[in-house]
Structure 1
Amino acid sequence: MSDLKSKHEMVTEIVNQVASIAAKLGIVHQHTEDSVLDGRHITISGKRMLYFGSCGYLGLEHDERLKAGAIEAINRYGTQFSSSRAYVSSYYYEESEDLLRKMFGRPLLLLQSLTVGHMSNIPILVGNDDAVILDSQVHDSVQTAVQFLRNRDVRVEVIRHNRLDMLESRIKALKDNYRKIWYMADGVYSMQGDFAPVKDLFRLADQYEQLHLYLDDIHGMSWAGPNGTGWVLGQGEYHPRLYLTTGLTKAFGSAGGLLIYPDEKEYQLIKNTSKAFIFSIQMPPMVLGATAASARIHLSPEIYSLQEEMRTKVEYFNRRAKELQLPLINESISPIGFIGVGKPDTGYNMVRRMMNQGYYFNLSVFPSVSYNNTGLRIPLNRLHTFEDIDGLLTEIATQLPQALEDSHSSMSEIYKHFKLVA
């Protein structure tokens, strides 16, 4: 027990130190000073900058229809509807879930957040005779929910990221001793924007009947898939052993976590027994009003033109990064760009340099990524112009050699740490 406690304390201290350093440098724990946000700019410490830090990939949070939906709901129902959903749900909940069910064609629950959703879902779905295999990079909210299973002595293993050979090997080793084998992963990974091999996972599930897939696709929502239902469902028909989770806090433009089920049985089980559904206060009417408005957009042909507009911005970002010979990691069609810089010191230096030049974005640094895999995490949104993207990448190409020199590093070291081919 003392070893576990010291490991916990060590990790906490590392996180605290990293956050403290970043805060002192003025790159985290900031707040906006804008009277109005436009989806492209942000003002921090009196400086107006182009903002490449939002996960609102389609910019729908600024859509007038979502704003009008929220205003109407607050005028009709007030700022909250303070009741457990086990007793009565507001009209706006029924409306939102009905529209979302039309999008996904499956039974689903809308909860306050996807983190709450995982903590409600996983302990009920996974039995004591099951085994769980986690992708090493699955979102922290999934890993946190799995801790409840460890308290019940449920077998939990972790395998290397996207290694389906390792997954199949573990399925073969476990299948004779466990009722179900759950593989938990992200559809789109939030740090570097790479994908789960969904089609291959579906094939594995066809081959091994005990394999159940639990996928978190919150970063794939809206910008991909039929009716904007996400990256995972863009890869094929809904698999009968897929337990899909996603959320509305990114590209969808509102808030809440979605739990989608292969059939009504599991849906009713979670609805009847989930502590979040029974005991927690429901989402505010204005959030649900915006959710319904966004769902109507998703159910219309307009969503495909929004997706196409987003795709052209991502393709331009990738093309310009390559032309400027920037170390772009995991080039993909996702709106999450990741430019490797190697050492944390180089990353801190780059963020400060870019803020001075009028650009603000996120830094992925240890322990979120490996120590020498620090990178500039650059989410794009539909409201960015091609000029915005070009200016950002051109300035990165100018500043990076100087930041590398300051930290006694080099481009060759970045390529080495990320295992890239120069």
Structure 2
Amino acid sequence: MITDELSGAKPANWVAARIDRTTDSLDRAFDEGLTGHVITGRHGKEVELADGSRAVEFVSCSYLGLEEHPDLVAAAQDAMSRFGVHFSSSRNRMRPVYLGELEDLLSRIYGGRPVVPFTSVSNVHLGVLPLLGNGTLPGYPVAGAGPVFLMEKTAHASMQVLRGVLEQIGPVRRFDLADPRTLEARLADAREQGRTPIALVDGVGSMGGLIDVDTLARSLAEAGGLLYVDDAHGISIDGPHGAGYAYEAFTGGLPANVVLVGSLSKAFGGAGGFVVLPGEEDVRVLRKFANPLVFGHSIMLPLLAADVAAARLHLSGEVARLQERLWGNAALFDELTDGRLVSAGQRSPVRGAHFATEQAAFEAARRLRAAGVLVLPAFFPTVAKGTGLIRFALSALHETSQLTAAVEALGPITP
């Protein structure tokens, strides 16, 4: 029986617990047309819907709008003309030429460290975390007693769902950064047991908020532990070459005890995920033992070519220019909402209007939809049970009139 150490609850299993506690809010949002929108075309942040209407979307996590850049489109089209839409083979057997190019370019973005792309961030977690906990990666030693995985309360679901897999390697415990005592207690327990603590956190939260990864990395280092950072929503939005929020937050470069994971599918403009590693020996281990790499194909060819084009734009300075537009839009949005949204003033492209009840969130979503503004309404288990949140994903492509219209439709916000 798995115990939720933070709440004291003892569900039969996490799936049953989640189903038992989840209301029908998501079903209602689908039924009312507040989410699940079918788009037939787009231009910038304006989309065409299946019913022929147009709307402005704040749903896509493409915070820089790179996927519409002519360089990415041309690269994908050229790849299809040369190879077709896909080449179905494990990368250990045959590798598209773009894969090595992408690895080299990503390595330049991340200070010369080797970078291994995967088809998704979820597959990075599935491929890397078991090997990390097992002490198989030479760059990240694990004590003889083994690891203890420390899962931060708000860590993304793609990590949380692997609890059963990780528990075959070492115990999994939760902690809450809102209550520092929980981490202190977990680290103390790890010391007593002679285990290596491996903390799993986000960088930029998918629903808002930032993790102080620099301070956290130092705390883990003092305890002889490792920090695994999923910065999917932070990649490309910060740094002169778009290395991202977490990478730029570390003083003095990426610490030796940090595993940095990122997404190529959000602000980066393409598709896939990646992990930054200490050395080539770690790459060789992943090549041999990371299941998604051994048994899975590479990123789909047209998108792999687009990733290469996007990486070149990161290194050329184009991404830095788009970052300026993104943060200008974020500052304007904060001004228009009087700084009352979740993540206001933070280096995050996500803003959230939090409501004390699901009904209040529904009413706000309806107003926005009626005004031709598409947002992401979130309910339990994404946010606390009984509450609701309207998420706005901001972009460098949003126009001032679109930001203003969204705020006017949202209406009054209770702090």
User: Same fold, TM exceeding 0.5?
Assistant: yes
Q: 1:92-131 counterparts in 2 under 5 A?
A: 92-104=98-110, 105-127=112-134, 129-131=146-148
Equivalent residue number for residue 342 of structure 1: 356
Going from structure 1 to structure 2, the CA distance change for 1:73 and 1:162 (only over 3 Å counts) comes to farther
Equivalent residue number for residue 277 of structure 1: 293
Deviation at 1:155, TM superposition (A): 1.3
What residue identity is the alignment partner of 1:111? F
Match of 2:375, SS state, is strand
Contact 1:84/1:280 (<8 A) preserved: yes
Structure 1 residue runs without a partner (length 5+): 402-410, 416-422
Going from structure 1 to structure 2, the CA distance change for 1:269 and 1:162 (only over 3 Å counts) comes to farther
Q: 1:313-392 counterparts in 2 under 5 A?
A: 313-322=329-338, 327-331=340-344, 332-392=346-406
Name the CA distance, whole Å, in 2 between partners of 1:38 and 1:26.
22
Name the CA distance, whole Å, in 2 between partners of 1:87 and 1:46.
46
Q: 1:79-90 counterparts in 2 under 5 A?
A: 79-90=85-96
Name the CA distance, whole Å, in 2 between partners of 1:76 and 1:13.
50
What residue identity is the alignment partner of 1:137? T
Contact 2:365/2:377 (<8 A) preserved: yes
Going from structure 1 to structure 2, the CA distance change for 1:41 and 1:31 (only over 3 Å counts) comes to closer
Equivalent residue number for residue 58 of structure 2: 52
Name the CA distance, whole Å, in 1 between partners of 2:334 and 2:22.
31
The number of aligned residues is 394
Name the CA distance, whole Å, in 1 between partners of 2:168 and 2:380.
28
Deviation at 1:57, TM superposition (A): 0.1
Deviation at 1:388, TM superposition (A): 1.1
Name the CA distance, whole Å, in 1 between partners of 2:343 and 2:322.
23
The counterpart of 2:18, out of the listed 6, 11, 29, is 11
The counterpart of 1:142, out of the listed 151, 159, 180, is 159
Q: 1:12-411 counterparts in 2 under 5 A?
A: 12=19, 14-15=21-22, 17-34=24-41, 36-104=42-110, 105-127=112-134, 129-152=146-169, 154-192=170-208, 194-208=209-223, 210-236=224-250, 237-322=253-338, 327-331=340-344, 332-397=346-411, 400=412, 411=414
- Alpha-carbon RMSD across the aligned residues, in angstroms, is 2.1
Contact 2:46/2:54 (<8 A) preserved: no
Q: Which moved more, 1:17-26 or 1:286-295?
A: 17-26
Going from structure 1 to structure 2, the CA distance change for 1:13 and 1:163 (only over 3 Å counts) comes to closer
Contact 1:310/1:381 (<8 A) preserved: yes
Deviation at 1:27, TM superposition (A): 1.4
Match of 2:174, SS state, is strand
Task: Give % identity.
Answer: 26
Match of 1:378, SS state, is strand
Name the CA distance, whole Å, in 1 between partners of 2:389 and 2:26.
16
TM-score if structure 2 supplies the norm length?
A: 0.89
Name the CA distance, whole Å, in 1 between partners of 2:406 and 2:267.
21
What residue identity is the alignment partner of 2:343? N
Match of 1:219, SS state, is coil
Contact 1:187/1:231 (<8 A) preserved: yes
Kindly indicate which of the two structures has a greater share of residues assigned to helix. Answer: 1
Contact 2:40/2:47 (<8 A) preserved: no
TM-score if structure 1 supplies the norm length?
A: 0.88
Contact 2:221/2:257 (<8 A) preserved: no
Going from structure 1 to structure 2, the CA distance change for 1:53 and 1:170 (only over 3 Å counts) comes to same
Contact 2:343/2:350 (<8 A) preserved: no
Contact 2:64/2:237 (<8 A) preserved: yes
Going from structure 1 to structure 2, the CA distance change for 1:158 and 1:121 (only over 3 Å counts) comes to same
